[in-house]
Amino acid sequence: MKALSSIIVSGIIGMSMITSASAAVIFSESFEEPANTLDWQVYQNFGNWAATSGAGIEIQQSGVAVNAHTGNQYVELDSDSIRGGTNNSSNSSMTTKLNLGAGTYLLTWYYQPRTDAKNDNIINVFLDGASDSIGTNLLTSVDGSQPATWTKITSSFSVDGSDNLYGLTFSAGGDANTLGGFVDTVSLELTDRPVPVPEPSVIGLFGLGLVGLGVLRRRKERI
């Protein structure tokens, strides 16, 4: 399972790898672009996201069912088949592609259920490497038992760099009745990444070079 494997410490071209704190937001999404001209509309492609199962990606304007967590738009993935949707199951998935180097990451997003039913309004989140099928590696799952307000959901994971292209997928589950959980304000942060440090052999060669310079300097001083 490449996507969620631990960071591998290995020698690369005379260098070894250690982890070092270097927090940086590398991806963020609040579903504001493109602007939805209707109160709600279903898309097969929305910004950097593609519908990978179900009727499509339903974008709602703030206030249609709930107020957006950020801006004026948010996602519902138990999507209706009209206004751009397909006749597939209303429970839908959306995927975006990310280039991730070796390191540890923190995924943050906000969830709000539309109903309060346990095992309904499910949102599953997956991270899959290029060699995996979509929906292989589950990061986290929430359902309607969450509070009826926007709730911050976080997941920490590591990748070892064996894949570079990853698919981040949000997928609806539970009753397929067009009443699903809401998603907004997605952010991915790199929290730790490997940094190269010289291996002992490299350090030894560097030390010999310094010694040589010292000897040469002393010889010049005697002249």
Q: What's domain 19-197's architecture?
A: Sandwich (2.60)
Inform me whether the pLDDT recorded for 10 exceeds 50: no
Q: Indicate the pLDDT class of residue 116, thresholds 50, 70 and 90.
A: confident
- Rounded Cα gap, residues 15 and 110, in angstroms: 40
Q: How many residues in total does the chain contain?
A: 223
Task: Say whether pLDDT at 134 is over 50.
Answer: yes
Count CB atoms within 10 A of the CB of residue 117: 15
Confidence tier at 193 by pLDDT (50, 70, 90): confident
Model confidence over 198-216: pLDDT tens digits? 655 545 544 555 545 454 4
End-to-end CA distance of the chain: 65
| pLDDT band, very low/low/confident/very high, at 70 (cuts 50, 70, 90) | very high
- Other beta carbons within 10 angstroms of residue 148's beta carbon come to 12
What is the per-residue pLDDT across 13-28, written as a single tens digit (0 to 9) for each?
Answer: 233 344 455 679 999 9
Instruction: Say whether pLDDT at 60 is over 60.
Output: yes
pLDDT at res. 209: 53
Cα 200 → chain centroid = 36
Residue with tokens 């937001």: 25
The mean pLDDT value for 100-127 works out to 95
Residue 8: pLDDT over 60: no
Q: How buried is residue 56: exposed, middle or buried, by Cβ count under 10 Å (0-12/13-18/19+)?
A: buried
Q: Which residue has the tokens 């039913």?
A: 117
- Sorted by where each begins, the domain ranges of the chain are 19-197
Whether the predicted pLDDT of 165 surpasses 90: yes
Q: Which pLDDT score, from 0 to 100, does residue 162 have?
A: 86
* The token pair that represents 187 in the structure block: 């952010």
Tokens of 30: 């609040």
DSSP assignment string, 164-182 = SEEEEEEEEES--SS---E
- What is the 3-state secondary structure of 34-86? CCCCCCEEEECEECCEEEEECCCEEEEECCCCCCCCCCCEEEECECCCCCCCC
